[in-house]
């Protein structure tokens, strides 16, 4: 059953993006990863601060295993079969207005989320799948990747081509389908909250 019939006619990329866990373990060209990160770069942010930062590795490169090992055990189990891993950070201190900490405006995480969405949609347009993961070893990332303390680890995301769901444990295999969404009239209200 196709649960991704939009109620209103959005561009296909919005419903085609979903987050599988079965990846095919192939390598991806760095040029494709750069296109995906370039899309993130063009995300909007408060005061155009652009607080997002990325640390990435491509499957098989010198940094790949380090980034795999910074996933929590649940995510590591399946995401190690993806083709690229990207860790997304937000800058908690830069403020484009007057040098005050960005904590004051508090939008660094929100802005980083917007960059993630750009990346995910661009990946979809290129024929890849992505999967965001909050389950990362946040206490170890700064040391292991040499990240300055002011940068907050937000998520990691995997990128790759879909693999066969039979490679997943039974519980995950059942969940390897696009999810649906709340109806628009449950989340968007005209004029007042109702």
Q: Which residues of this chain interact with ligand FMN, rule CB under 6 A?
A: 18-19, 75, 131-135, 155, 178-179
Query: Of 48 and 179, which has the nearer Cβ to ligand FMN?
Result: 179
Q: How far is the CB of 158 from ligand FMN (least distance, A)?
A: 9
CB atoms within 10 A of CB 130: 24
Query: Of 2 and 179, which has the nearer Cβ to ligand FMN?
Result: 179
Closest CA to 131 of 84, 166, 89, 91: 84
Q: How far is the CB of 155 from ligand FMN (least distance, A)?
A: 5
Q: How far is the CB of 167 from ligand FMN (least distance, A)?
A: 15
Query: Of 19 and 105, which has the nearer Cβ to ligand FMN?
Result: 19
Q: How far is the CB of 19 from ligand FMN (least distance, A)?
A: 3
19: alpha, beta or left? (left if phi > 0; alpha if psi -120 to 50):
beta
DSSP states of 72-92:
-HHHHHHHTTSSEEEEEEEES
DSSP state of 175: T
């Amino acid at each position: 059953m196709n649960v991704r019939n939009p109620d209103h006619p959005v561009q296909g990329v919005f419903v085609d993006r979903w987050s599988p866990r079965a990846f095919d373990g192939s390598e991806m060209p760095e040029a494709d990863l750069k296109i995906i990160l370039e899309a993130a770069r063009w995300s909007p942010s408060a005061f155009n601060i652009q607080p997002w930062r990325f640390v990435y590795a491509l499957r098989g490169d010198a940094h790949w295993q380090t980034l795999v090992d910074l996933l929590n055990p649940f995510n590591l189990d399946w995401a190690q079969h993806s083709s690229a891993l990207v860790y997304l950070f937000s800058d908690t201190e830069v403020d484009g207005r007057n040098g005050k900490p960005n904590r004051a405006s508090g939008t660094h995480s929100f802005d980083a989320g917007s960059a993630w969405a750009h990346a995910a949609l661009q990946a979809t347009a290129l024929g890849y799948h992505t999967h965001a993961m909050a389950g990362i070893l946040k206490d170890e990332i700064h040391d292991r990747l040499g990240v300055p303390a002011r940068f907050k680890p937000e998520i990691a995301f995997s990128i790759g081509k879909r693999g066969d769901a039979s490679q997943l444990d039974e519980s995950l295999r059942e969940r390897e389908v696009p999810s649906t969404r709340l109806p628009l009239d449950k989340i968007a209200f005209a004029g007042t909250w109702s």
